[in-house]
Structure 1
Amino acid sequence: MPVVAVVNRKGGSGKSTLATHLSAYCAHNGIPVMLGDVDKQQSTQAWLRLRSQQAVTNKAPIVGWTVDARSVLRSPPGVTHVILDTPGGLRGFELARVAMFADAIIMPVCNSVFDRESAADCFAELMALPRVASGKCKVAAVGMRLDARTKADETLRDWASKHKIPFIGVLRETQGYVRCVEQGLTLFDLPASKVEADLLQWQPILQWLQPVLHPKPAAPLTRPVATGMSPAPAGNRAASLKPAQVSLLAPDHPEPAPGTPATPPRTAKPQPSAAPARSGSVAGRLGSWLESFSVSRLLQR
């Protein structure tokens, strides 16, 4: 189950706007997606309630988390992707846990010295984590709310280059985003002809996320075939078998030679039972992570 997390320590950077748009993109492309909101403000859940009142035709549903005292996270059947909107101020163990669950992390960055320095510190901490350093969890920055009349785009790209942060696109400041969010909509819900310029800015971002949102199926495992075997002696029935079949014979029960009295087979020693497999459910792991946050009792009711 691919997980994309939107992370920024600084509030007001556009995390919820980015998360809701990515969820709507998935829904319009037939990807059942769960929009997870770990922020105490529950902004994306409020957006989902507004969206339920709109006549939006999606190819797949967008579902949110159900937060209560018994089950912090309930993953509905059929959900294949998770978009995670995280709270501000993530650092240390909590930031490491996000990287542990996510396949990609997007950092929305506004063009101010405070936003840039905060994002640079967060990126440096992420790169110190083994899963990010090894490339299993990709990280990139997106410029948010940029004024097209200024050199904000150039400033952010120079900043990203200086800190060696992958910079995958910019989203300009426009009232289209504000009006959409207030109605539970996104630019992907509007006629493309009306928001063509803004949708073009999403193309490099979606292209970077393509391997995560549409992962290639894993190749089936094949049994290794033994090669380079020496000829079997005459009279041994293994000589007529193919190498792959020979490799399946028990090595401690050879074929007895003609005229040799048969010996009773050795009793195999009982093997210790395997430890119970740990649940691989991403929803379960995300739920345990969410439990580590101080979720208010009001939300648990």
Structure 2
Amino acid sequence: MPVVAVVNRKGGSGKSTIATHLAAWMAHQGCAVMLGDVDRQQSTRTWLKRRVPSVPAILPWTIDQKNVLKAPSGVTHVVLDTPGGLQGFELSRLVMQADAIVIPVCNSLFDRDSAASCHAELLAHPRVSSGRCKLGVVGMRIDARTRGAETLRQWAQERGMPFWGVLREAQVYVKTVENGLTLFDLPASAHEADLQQWQPLLAQLAPVMHLQLPATARLQVPSEELASAFSALDPAPENPPQAHILPARAKALMPAQGTLVHGDRFASFHTGK
């Protein structure tokens, strides 16, 4: 069961944007994908509650400090959205389970500093240094009118950090998040330039996740539903759609999965690695 984790110690770096889009991309490839919300803020679970029934299902889990939760049975792929400040023992446990780690980084001194520190700690783990856990950085919220992309690329190269492309700052990301969608849920022709920016990252992850490129399989959401869900940045509905939210406490587990340990923000589920 391939696992990809999105990691950065700094909050607001774009981890949830990366995690939700990767989960949706895998779901559109026919995977039974679980989006594991390790972050205390539970941002991705809120996003899942807003997904409309006409897009592929993504399975959730949640973690808190009082309950031991389990992943649903039948999961084939896992995406983990991790909390800010992850380090030390918790980071080590994450690395032991991940097949790939994506570090999103914005183009500011503080963001680059945080990402470099996180990258250095990750490299100390044998699974990363040996290449068994693939690792790369992605530039986030890059203004196309600036040299931000080139600045990040050069910064990463100087530090020996694999650079997996950049994603521009665009209103479409705000709108999709508000409505439980991603670019991969929309007609390809509507946002082709933004979708192209995802290709370098997907090309790096596809072999690890045992998927094929190009990732062209996208459901066409009915036009009237998209018009309603995507018309503007409206306030969140009082009772958002619950179609794809399964009970967090699953009755059955895959044989390779164990329980989540009480008290940990990330508690290891065994994948045989």
Which aligned pairs between 1:253-272 and structure 2 lie closer than 5 A? none
Cα offset, 1:78, TM superposition: 1.6
d(CA) in 2 for partners of 1:9 and 1:292?
16
Q: Secondary structure at the match of 2:167?
A: strand
d(CA) in 1 for partners of 2:157 and 2:16?
26
Change (3 A) 1:43 1:69: closer
Q: Secondary structure at the match of 1:8?
A: coil
Match of 2:193 among 193, 197, 208: 197
Cα offset, 1:95, TM superposition: 1.0
Q: Secondary structure at the match of 1:210?
A: helix
- What is the match of residue 258 of structure 2? 284
Which aligned pairs between 1:7-156 and structure 2 lie closer than 5 A? 7-51=7-51, 54-58=52-56, 61-67=57-63, 72-156=68-152
Whether 2:169 is the aligned partner of 1:173: answer yes
Change (3 A) 1:146 1:68: closer
d(CA) in 1 for partners of 2:64 and 2:169?
36
Q: Which has the higher contact order (CA 8 A, sep 6+)?
A: 2
- What is the match of residue 265 of structure 2? 293
d(CA) in 2 for partners of 1:97 and 1:193?
41
8 Å contact from structure 1 (residues 66, 72) kept in 2 = no
Change (3 A) 1:70 1:210: same
Which aligned pairs between 1:243-258 and structure 2 lie closer than 5 A? none
8 Å contact from structure 1 (residues 3, 83) kept in 2 = yes
Identity of aligned residues (%): 62
Change (3 A) 1:281 1:39: farther
Amino acid in the other structure paired with 1:23: A
Change (3 A) 1:47 1:69: same
- What is the match of residue 273 of structure 1? none
Amino acid in the other structure paired with 1:26: M
Q: Secondary structure at the match of 2:89?
A: helix
d(CA) in 2 for partners of 1:144 and 1:282?
34
Cα offset, 1:130, TM superposition: 1.1
Amino acid in the other structure paired with 1:57: V
d(CA) in 2 for partners of 1:30 and 1:199?
19
Alignment RMSD (CA, Å)? 2.3
d(CA) in 2 for partners of 1:81 and 1:35?
9
d(CA) in 1 for partners of 2:181 and 2:106?
22
Amino acid in the other structure paired with 2:49: R
Give the TM-score of the pair, scaled to structure 1. 0.71
d(CA) in 2 for partners of 1:145 and 1:84?
21
8 Å contact from structure 1 (residues 8, 107) kept in 2 = yes
> For the pair shown, which has the larger CA radius of gyration, 1 or 2?
1
Cα offset, 1:57, TM superposition: 3.1
Contiguous gaps of at least 5 residues in structure 1:
217-278, 296-301
Per-residue deviation, residues 105-163 of structure 1 (Å, max 9, x unmatched): 00000000100011011101110111111111111000000000000000000100011
d(CA) in 1 for partners of 2:129 and 2:65?
36
Change (3 A) 1:49 1:142: same
Whether 2:200 is the aligned partner of 1:208: answer no
8 Å contact from structure 1 (residues 142, 167) kept in 2 = yes
Q: Secondary structure at the match of 1:65?
A: strand
Moved more, 73-82 or 38-47: 73-82
Change (3 A) 1:171 1:133: same
Change (3 A) 1:38 1:194: same
Q: Secondary structure at the match of 1:39?
A: coil
Q: Secondary structure at the match of 2:258?
A: helix
d(CA) in 1 for partners of 2:169 and 2:143?
6
Amino acid in the other structure paired with 2:265: F
Give the TM-score of the pair, scaled to structure 2. 0.78
d(CA) in 2 for partners of 1:102 and 1:282?
14
How many residues are treated as equivalent by the alignment? 227
